[in-house]
Chain A
């Protein structure tokens, strides 16, 4: 059951990441990896909210496995983020590569804080 929750959440998360990246790429082009940045920040927001909900007792371990380990874990990605950053650096946009790392980490942390704050307001 535990494994099923993780796998089902992750299947939805990975598909959602792919479709979001595809849609963002179609609108903004493929120069800067906006698609990966979008899913990573969105996943951080949801996981921040979920972690707050679990801490407040509003969500249980099953929801944590389905939405946290599964959905958010697979919606966000470190491998594509690193690969795209390396590609930016290799194609001469070292500034864009540095900006991608800085923006991803800062926005990711900000999104976790926002999600946790929202959980506090809702359930604390």
Chain B
């Protein structure tokens, strides 16, 4: 992910300065993977079946990171551990590239060429569509709210972003 929220820490790249970030990334990653595992148990994919659950998990996680990154960018004072926990940890642990590639490989090896190519192409397209649509919708919503707040409070930067 571009600019880490730890620029201030980067000048002093000691383990002690970096440890809280690594810790929240690990905690978020554990929680995200548990949620992915829960989805896999709730909606199991049959052998040689189309991996709907992994597709759904990846698209959902991509939409959520679209919302998160806009909210963090708009918020004036997001805590420096918010992005490592939710973005790098939780959503990074929830979504998975390795299962996507292995599922695609398994479909290809099983002779389902058309289905495999569909899965391999649809996932990145839907993921990009999801992150773009979610980011745009969030920007739009926050923009409208900021305008409404500015109008209510009679303008000025103090009434600005939520």
Contacts and interface: CB of A to CB of B under 8 A. Distances in A.
Contacts of B123: 78
B98 A72 contact: yes
A85 B128 contact: yes
B24 to A, nearest CB: 10
Interface string B32-47: 1110110010000000
A40 B95 CA distance: 11
Given A78-B127, A83-B62, A7 B95 contact: no
B132 interface: yes
Interface residues on B, range: 35 or more
Contacts of A9: 33
A43 B101 CA distance: 10
Interface of A: 2-3, 6-15, 17-19, 21-22, 25, 30, 33, 36, 40, 43-44, 46-48, 51, 65, 69-70, 72-87, 101, 104-105, 108-109, 111-113, 116
3 tightest Cβ-Cβ pairs between the two chains A and B: A14-B29, A10-B33, A76-B97
Interface of B: 1-4, 21-22, 25-34, 36-37, 40, 58, 61-62, 64-66, 69, 84, 87-89, 91-102, 104-106, 108, 120, 123-124, 127-128, 130-132, 135
7 contacts: A2-B37, A6-B34, A7-B33, A13-B33, A79-B95, A85-B128, A112-B101
